[in-house]
Amino acid sequence: MASVILLILYVIFTSVCFGTSAKSAQISMECQPAVGVVGRTTKISCSFKTNFGADQKIIISAVSVTKRGETEPLFWFKDNTVYGDDRFKLLSKNDPSFLLSNTAVSDEGLYDYTIVTNRGIIEDGTFRISVTAALISMECQPAVGVVGQTTKISCPIKTNFGADQKIIISAVSVTKRGETEPLLWFKNNTVYGDDRFKLLSINDPSLLLSNTAVSDEGLYDYTVVTNRGIIEETFRISVTAKYNPPSISTWPVKILDGGPADLYCNASGGYPAGAIHWFDSTNTNWTKSTTLEITEREDKLLKMSSKLTVTNIDLSWAPFRCVILNSKFIKEEETMIHLTRIDGCSCCSSQKLCAIQFCTEDGEYGKNNNHHNT
């Protein structure tokens, strides 16, 4: 409210300085009726009319826009600062036109527009905004792709005219957010750029992305030109990849019952990062005793390596299970391995520690890198 009062006082003060009227400065303004589309940016075109030379520039120092019937301005500009509804934007300090972003039905109506310039004040400016719903729009669904497979980006079109009026796509452009050049564009039935993208049809703006890669993940800007208008939309691609079956190894290869042991579980080729959990025969979770290392491969897929350290291992805890969880903590893979006493260990009856080793379920000893999927 204080800012509004200051603006009014500023206008009054400037009016006195300029002789209370812009007419003495021979300057006026004319605004054109504007037709906005819901959700889009509307331009309100206003131009100065003067009877002095074009070399005498007009500089805007303050503006005020009030919707007819309201008592307070909804937008005002002074000293390079904008107040009120930030959807309004003055085009420049030399052009009284302005932009209204994200137009809404409630913006429809008649407006009073006051401008303070170095050549005088214009107090009788008016303009009207009419608002209509878009004839055509598009809503793209978030897409989840799998590495190496084809991903569909579904973008159904919505219209407010009859289904008998066909929509024909003449051009499209897809740009990854943050990039300056489109990675795909389609014009005159010819596709340019990344040939992994394919427009579903000239009547359907949905896209297919073949051989999906981790690098495809991100937000995209999508422009579609049709015989019914231009549509601008965004869509997001998320990428996943299932981890390969894990492998288990130990150090040392031969482990003493009651002695220390490190158990290793490795799984690679997945995305995004997940977790590795360890369980013994009683289903006790040993994950708190582990360390997890995640590294990125050249293809952006990940390798997870987990190390379980046991200070005093007990043969009765076997078998151990290494469980691979994805980013949503859903189990993808599992490997089980048994700790088995070595046959013919005559020392076991007389000594506290006896050598044992990892053994796969088929009874092969000494091949500690074997694994068994369950």
Q: What tens digit of pLDDT does each residue of 82-122 get?
A: 889 999 998 888 899 989 998 888 999 999 999 999 888 88
Question: Which pLDDT band holds residue 372 (cuts at 50, 70, 90)?
Answer: very low
370 pLDDT more than 50: no
354 pLDDT more than 70: no
* Residue whose C-alpha is closest to residue 35's, from 164, 144, 131: 131
In the chain, what are the domain boundaries? 2-132, 136-240, 247-373
In this structure, the strands spanning 120-132 and 34-37 are: parallel
- Assigned superfamily of 247-373: Immunoglobulins (2.60.40.10)
* Architecture label for domain 136-240: Sandwich (2.60)
The span from the first CA to the last CA of the chain, in angstroms, equals 71
Half-sphere exposure of 163 (CA within 13 A, CB side): 0
Average pLDDT over residues 205-227: 95
Quote the pLDDT of residue 250.
82
- How many CB atoms within 10 Å of residue 278? 21
Q: Per-residue DSSP letters for 283-325?
A: --B-GGGEEEEEEE-TTS-EEEEEEEEESS--GGGPPEEEEEE
**Using CA atoms, how far apart are residues 181 and 314, in angstroms rounded to an integer?**
61
Average pLDDT over residues 220-247: 93
367 pLDDT more than 50: no
Lowest mean pLDDT across 242-251, 307-316, 332-341: 332-341
Quote the pLDDT of residue 344.
37
* Tens of pLDDT, residues 29-52: 899 999 888 888 899 999 988 877
Quote the pLDDT of residue 40.
81
To the nearest whole percent, how much of the chain has pLDDT over 70?
A: 82
* Architecture label for domain 2-132: Sandwich (2.60)
Quote the pLDDT of residue 164.
66
Quote the pLDDT of residue 340.
55
339 pLDDT more than 70: no
190 pLDDT more than 60: yes
